[in-house]
Amino acid sequence: MGKKVTVVGAGFYGSTTAQRLAEYDIFDTVVLTDIVEGKPEGLALDLNQSRPVEGFETKVVGATTGPNGEGYEAIEGSDVVIITAGLPRKPGMSRMDLLGVNAKIVRQVSENVAKYAPNAVVIVVSNPLDEMTALAQIATQFPKNRVLGQAGMLDTARFTHFVAETLSVKIGDVQTLTLGSHGDTMVPVPSRCTVNGKPLAELLPADKIEELVTRTRNGGAEVVALLKTGSAYYAPSAAAARMAKAVAEDSGAVMPVCAWVDGEYGISGVYLGVEAEIGAEGVRRVVETKLTDSELAGLKEAAEAVRAKQADVADL
Ligand SMILES: NC(=O)c1ccc[n+]([C@@H]2O[C@H](COP(=O)([O-])OP(=O)(O)OC[C@H]3O[C@@H](n4cnc5c(N)ncnc54)[C@H](O)[C@@H]3O)[C@@H](O)[C@H]2O)c1
């Protein structure tokens, strides 16, 4: 049987993710759901009509869902579920300002996912990301490796873009990495940044690297401030779709994701941005990379910051 992937939430993030997944042409079915009646069905119809032009066979199914799980039959048998349901930021808001309202949404969605797609790998993108990932695991009661969040791929992609742009080099020549939280305690890892294999520190002065690190940390807010009515979705959807592809293909790709950390880096019992090997079971293992003392200190600081917040989500 072919693979089935569901995207919950047919807003900007969800609809662009569904499009990317369909255009990969590796799934039998992409299901798109939302609580706004007709929106997922309309987008699915539109996406299906692009099939002859783009030349993919994957079918897109749209389903409106209700507060008591109505319509969730559509997600049955999903191998992967991406949760994008929830409010995005407005200018001036931090991701944490979304905690209360998105926790209600993510809990309700997660309970229905557990009921209708009990074997799925869940990829969370709703913000605040680290907390919503922890909440989805609590609400689904899935094994921790089967619930992960998308943040590091996006933050790393932003860092890479800024480095490539600054040095006027090809995107493909640049390697960067960010770990930690999807927020103030994001940990860009300059020691793992290279351009054509050369350390970034040999190509740019420290203050310029610091400037790019700061811009990366504020990468989401920069887009929000320009759009004024929502947050980024092209780069975010690219990241989530690649994670779902790695699960569907059981590829073993190593990606920066929000994963359950249990002893790695001397950190335990928290969802945190780390590199992980992704396969059919979700996170196969967390991959530790060599960090400088200050980068490791930053990661530990991020772990403690999100640990405190994640402890509270069980009650939301
Ligand atoms: N992790 C990341 O890197 C990252 C990046 C960008 C955005 N985000 C987050 O992703 C989320 C979605 O962003 P967006 O731009 O698509 O917002 P959006 O407002 O365009 O779409 C959100 C959609 O969720 C739907 N929804 C609300 N409650 C629902 C429920 N119970 N079940 C199903 N659908 C429901 C809404 O009707 C809406 O269509 C936000 O929380 C945003 O902050 C995360």
pLDDT (tens digit, 9 = 90+) per residue, 121-145? 999 999 999 999 999 999 999 999 9
| pTM given for the model | 0.97
**Which active-site residues does the annotation give?**
182
87 CA to middle of ligand 1, Å? 5
Residue located nearest, by CA, to atom 20 of ligand 1? 11
- Ligand 1: atom nearest CA of 95 is 43
Residue located nearest, by CA, to atom 43 of ligand 1? 88
15 CA to middle of ligand 1, Å? 10
Instruction: Say what percent of the chain tops pLDDT 90.
Output: 91
Strand order in 194-195's β-sheet? Answer: 174-175, 194-195, 198-199
- Output 184 or 133, whichever has higher pLDDT: 133
Token pair 């530990």 in the structure block, residue:
300
- Ligand 1: atom nearest CA of 230 is 15
What whole-number distance in Å separates Cα of residue 23 and Cα of residue 258? 25
Residue located nearest, by CA, to atom 12 of ligand 1? 84
Among 90-99, 154-163, 198-207, the minimum mean pLDDT is found in 90-99
pLDDT at residue number 67: 85
In which band, very low, low, confident or very high, does the pLDDT at 2 lie, cut at 50, 70 and 90?
Answer: confident
pLDDT (tens digit, 9 = 90+) per residue, 262-316? 999 999 999 999 999 999 999 999 999 999 999 999 999 999 999 988 888 888 8
39 CA to middle of ligand 1, Å? 13
- Ligand 1: atom nearest CA of 85 is 24
Phi/psi-derived region of residue 133, left when phi > 0, alpha when psi is between -120 and 50, beta in every other case: alpha
75 CA to middle of ligand 1, Å? 18
Q: Which residues line ligand 1 (CB under 6 A)?
A: 8-14, 33-36, 65, 84-89, 98, 102, 105, 108-109, 125-127, 129, 150-151, 154, 182, 230-233, 236
